[in-house]
């Protein structure tokens, strides 16, 4: 395959571009890294499954095969797990990244792994999710917006005889994008950061969640775990469409690892602040676990006090350090000896709704390790399990009454050049089967106060719930007219 590339010397508004190009696509992706925080991701990737080389891959744990849907309408079954399939596809379709390209994704797979894929990574298949456990689209056509440099890149992969078709797509798409507004960060939606109305939608509810915390403490006292990430879910009928919800969410809770995915009747609106794994063209792998959350306050003095209290709290610091140790161990299985280092420990990152305590761990992959090998060794992210990982996941399986699904998994890309950028699926709403689902939780340790842990879980869910509770015709509406497709 060869890569065709065209650049527009301005950053097109990503929301306008997605609505115009992919708003009606049955399968589409929008990896939405608005430049919300200095030093965090600056590139957004948009596309769908309409390119001549595109395919959509679906998988359910335990099925023994993946289902591959090709652009010409064909469907085939490939034996193995989703990770087996992706590893082989990336090996056979390898395309080197052009050195001049400022980002590390020039085609490949975009999609998600749900939490239950843990069964293929050393965990158990305890619960079955209603929706597919993994879905990925092979992206051979993409729009990439560089929010920092102020450019828009168009990329098209072509087979041996497809160069003319790729060039035609570049010309047509560039002409459409020239009619759209220049990018700017969307106006934020402000509102009270309360948890009113949430409890009635909880699957297990307050009393059961508090009992489950007590169960966690019993396991901790018995030495079965050091830290257990306990979660619950909110469910309610889906009235608003997924894209409308995401357009609201990105204003109500902007975050650097956000995404909107659509796979037929499944839609994901994600505003994650947490990076799971990034693998760059130099084979350096980075993970940025979050443990520790505090609310924001409109009073700057109070807000600063909350931020400092988060940083200084011994319990929160201990939670974060335990997950850092777990991830150092995960990376140590796939990285060169001596290369795994904690680059930043217990740093505070502030977003519109929350303060978070974040650490950064990096290493260099061994020569015999591919991107999917690294993913398999580290999935699911330790911040969503606790430590030690395998035994703690077993404890979680016994406490939680249903599958987590997409929540607690990962969303992102796996590039043909051996690169990846994947988030942890938190602050996310999933629409499937006529219902919305929001997951939230927190780390339980021996020093945990049950009521405080319950309130923190609700606080995390509130940022997403608020997006679903906001009328899409109000604050979520765009301030520009999107040209009709023609």
Active site residues: 274, 291
Residue 224 is classified by DSSP as: S
The helix/strand/coil state of 78 is strand
**Local structure of 422: helix, strand or coil:** strand
Q: Residue 411 burial (CB < 10 Å; 0-12/13-18/19+)?
A: buried
Closest by alpha carbon to 441, among 128, 215, 213?
A: 213
Which string of DSSP letters, residue by residue, matches 384-399?
Answer: GTEESHHHHHHHHHHH
Residue 361's CB: how many other CB atoms inside 10 A?
A: 24
Task: Return the closest-CA partner of residue 362 out of 338, 382, 379, 387.
Answer: 338
For residues 397 and 115, the answer to whether their CB atoms sit within 8 Å is no
Residue 157 pairs in a beta bridge with: 3
Of 371, 75, 135, 372, nearest to 261 by C-alpha is 135
Q: What is the dihedral of CA 292, 294, 300, 302, to 10 degrees?
A: -110
Q: Are the C-beta atoms of residues 307 and 374 closer than 8 Å to each other?
A: no
Task: Collect all residues with Cβ–Cβ distance below 8 Å to 464 and sequence separation of at least 6.
Answer: 249, 253, 269, 271, 427, 428, 429, 438
Q: Are 335 and 363 in contact (CB under 8 A)?
A: yes
For the four alpha carbons of 349, 355, 359 and 360, in that order, the dihedral sign comes to negative
């Amino acid at each position: 395959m060869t890569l065709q590339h065209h650049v527009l010397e301005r950053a097109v508004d990503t929301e306008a571009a997605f609505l115009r190009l992919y708003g009606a696509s049955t399968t589409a992706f929008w990896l939405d890294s608005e430049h919300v925080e200095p030093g965090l991701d600056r590139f957004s990737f948009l596309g769908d499954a309409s390119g001549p080389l595109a395919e959509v891959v679906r998988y359910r744990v335990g099925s023994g095969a993946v289902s591959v849907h090709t652009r010409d309408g064909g469907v085939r079954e490939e034996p193995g797990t989703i990770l087996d399939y992706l590893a082989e596809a990336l090996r056979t379709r390898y395309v080197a990244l052009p050195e001049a390209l400022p980002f590390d994704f020039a085609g490949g797979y975009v999609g998600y792994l749900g939490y239950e894929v843990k069964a293929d990574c050393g965990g158990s298949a305890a619960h079955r999710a209603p929706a597919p456990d993994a879905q990925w689209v092979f992206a051979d056509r993409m729009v990439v917006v560089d929010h920092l440099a102020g450019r828009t890149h168009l990329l098209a992969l072509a087979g041996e005889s497809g160069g003319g078709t790729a060039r035609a797509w570049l010309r047509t798409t560039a002409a459409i994008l020239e009619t759209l507004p220049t990018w700017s960060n969307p106006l934020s939606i402000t509102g009270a950061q309360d948890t009113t109305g949430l409890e009635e939608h909880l699957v297990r509810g307050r009393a059961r969640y508090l009992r489950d915390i007590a169960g966690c403490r019993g396991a901790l006292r018995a030495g079965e775990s050091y830290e257990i990430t306990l979660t619950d879910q909110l469910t309610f009928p889906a009235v608003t469409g997924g894209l409308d919800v995401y357009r609201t969410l990105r204003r109500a809770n902007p975050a650097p690892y956000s995404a909107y995915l659509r796979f037929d009747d499944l839609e994901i609106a994600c505003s994650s602040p947490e990076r799971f794994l990034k693998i760059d063209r130099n084979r350096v792998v980075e993970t940025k676990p979050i443990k520790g959350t505090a609310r924001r306050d409109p009073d700057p003095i109070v807000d600063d006090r909350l931020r400092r209290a988060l940083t200084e709290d011994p319990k929160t610091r201990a939670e974060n350090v335990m997950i850092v140790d777990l991830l150092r161990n995960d990376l140590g299985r796939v990285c060169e000896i001596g290369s795994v280092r904690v680059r930043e420990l217990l740093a505070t990152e502030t977003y519109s709704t929350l303060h978070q305590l974040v650490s950064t761990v990096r290493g260099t992959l061994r020569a015999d390790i591919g991107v999917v090998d690294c993913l398999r060794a580290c999935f699911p992210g330790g911040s969503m399990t606790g430590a030690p990982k395998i035994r703690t996941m077993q404890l979680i399986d016994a406490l939680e009454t249903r599958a987590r699904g997409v929540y607690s998994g990962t969303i992102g890309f796996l590039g043909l050049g051996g690169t990846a950028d994947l988030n942890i699926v938190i602050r996310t709403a999933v629409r499937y089967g006529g219902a919305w689902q929001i997951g939230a939780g927190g780390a339980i340790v021996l020093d945990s106060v049950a009521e405080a842990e319950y309130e923190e879980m609700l606080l995390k869910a509130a940022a997403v719930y608020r997006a679903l509770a906001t009328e899409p015709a109000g604050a979520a509406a765009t301030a520009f007219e999107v040209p009709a497709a023609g």
